[in-house]
Amino acid sequence: MRILLKSVLVSDSRSSFHGKTVDLLAENGQWIQIASSIQDKADVVIAGNQLQWSPSLVDLRVHNTLPGGEHREDWESLSRAALKGGVLDMLLLPTGSPVPQQADSIRFIRQKSGQITFHPMAPLSLDNKGENFTDLFDLHRAGAAWFGHGSGSLQAVDLMAKSLQYLQTLPVTIVCRPDTEALSLYGQIHEGLQSTLLGLKGIPVLSESMSIQRDLDLLRYVRANAFGLANADFRLHFACISTAAGVELIRAAKAEGLPVTADVAVHQLIFTEDAIADFDTNKKVFPPFRAHADLEALWKGLETGVIDAVVSDHHPVEFESKALEFDHADFGTIGLETLLVAFVDAAEKRKLKNSLDFITHKPASLAGISLPVVEVGSHVQGIVIESGVNHVYQQTDIVGKSKNSCFIGETFTTQITHVIKGDQILYQG
């Protein structure tokens, strides 16, 4: 099949056509011609105003509800949401029930890949209880390259230290979403002005910074006592950084040469604690929306390379667990469908250079994924983006099972019109 894209701005920093407006012609899943004007016939012609071509998205943080949480999301609805958001690769947290903690479970999730490639993260401890190890090396042999503690961080210092000691010998990544539970317990929103005004228990900045500092100290310790066994591709990855203090700690660790990377959830780049003033439980997330100074520090972290990627932190929650008093409602927001549109809109206002890299090539590099670039002869995989639109995001726009989006009511000026992989149009908006 032949697919022709007319007058498309190539937004692919690794392509020699990056920043150029061209026509793109694909045949049988490969680019066969790239030129300023192509008049050849095609089976499908995609044309419009202010179109861009981007690599497909890689999302490093998706809460896995399977098995056990099919009422929140199933494989079909998860794939449907991912396609609408242009996400063709996703890292699934070890948050199913039961926890995917056997080699067969890892292989099962990987075999679920089709139009979407699922990359399962393995749990560090049995049942995510933080008490006894899983068979880390067996899980790695089954294909797990990322390890974490559910959706959070190991509170047991000895277990975290040993996890670092054992896994630093492998080309893997340990993920920590920093939190000191003794400080954040029963917290609802950011500890600040709004928590005082609304009478809700706050989650202090210290709960994040103490956790990061602890794990950095442990990493220094195990690296100093690695006896030459540390793998060059081992990393400690901090997920969903939300504070200026966290950004500074990671900046210093990188400057020191520690194998550390980090990401930020897209909603943390858009909302502050003020968004909670109306008690909208769809905006109850963890970590919580922080102060304006923290939001500014997160953007600075992206600009300076301290933060490596932007994620959706897609966390489906059923209506019944959100339609409650604020302090009884579950944490979490969905985000697969809005990762690109929310981030691109915000990044354009900030004039962030090569912003799409933070949701494409950069997370792909962290995950060991090679995304095809736009060159003659290369494989076709990417998305068509239309700019200059004005669309108020509504609950009825959501294609996943759960509707708990913090972006309901927000206006976006970007939309995904097509997702193409090989010679197939997987999504057309």
Written as one string, the DSSP assignment of 11-65 is --TTSTTTT-EEEEEEETTEEEEEES------SEEE--SSEEEEPPEEEEEE---
Assigned token pair, 422:
């090989």
Provide the CATH number for the domain formed by 2-53+375-428 in this structure.
2.30.40.10
Q: Which of 188, 63, 77 is nearest to 128 (CA)?
A: 63
Quote the pLDDT of residue 12. 98
| pLDDT number for residue 9 | 99
Q: Mean pLDDT across the stretch 16-44?
A: 98
| Residue (of 85, 87, 7) closest to 46 by Cα position | 7
What average pLDDT score do residues 394-403 get? 98
Q: What is d(CA 322, CA 10) in angstroms, rounded to the nearest whole number?
A: 40
Separation of alpha carbons 165 and 167, rounded Å = 6
Mean pLDDT, range 101-125, rounded to an integer = 98
Q: How confident is the model at residue 359 (pLDDT cuts 50, 70, 90)?
A: very high
> Which band of pLDDT confidence, cut at 50, 70 and 90, is reported for residue 215?
very high
Beta strand spans in 218-278 (E): 235-238, 260-265
Residue 292: burial class (beta carbons within 10 Å; 0-12, 13-18, 19+): exposed
CATH of segment(s) 55-367: 3.20.20.140
Strands 51-54, 381-392: pairing kind: antiparallel
Residues 6+ apart with CB under 8 A from 17: 10, 34, 374, 375
Mean pLDDT for 41-67 is: 97
Please compute the mean of the pLDDT values over residues 16-34 and round it to a whole number: 98
**Ranges of each domain in the chain:** 2-53+375-428, 55-367
Asked if 267 and 335 touch (Cβ cutoff 8 Å), the reply is yes
Instruction: Assign 3-state DSSP to the chain and report helix, strand, coil percentages, each to 5.
Output: 35, 25, 40
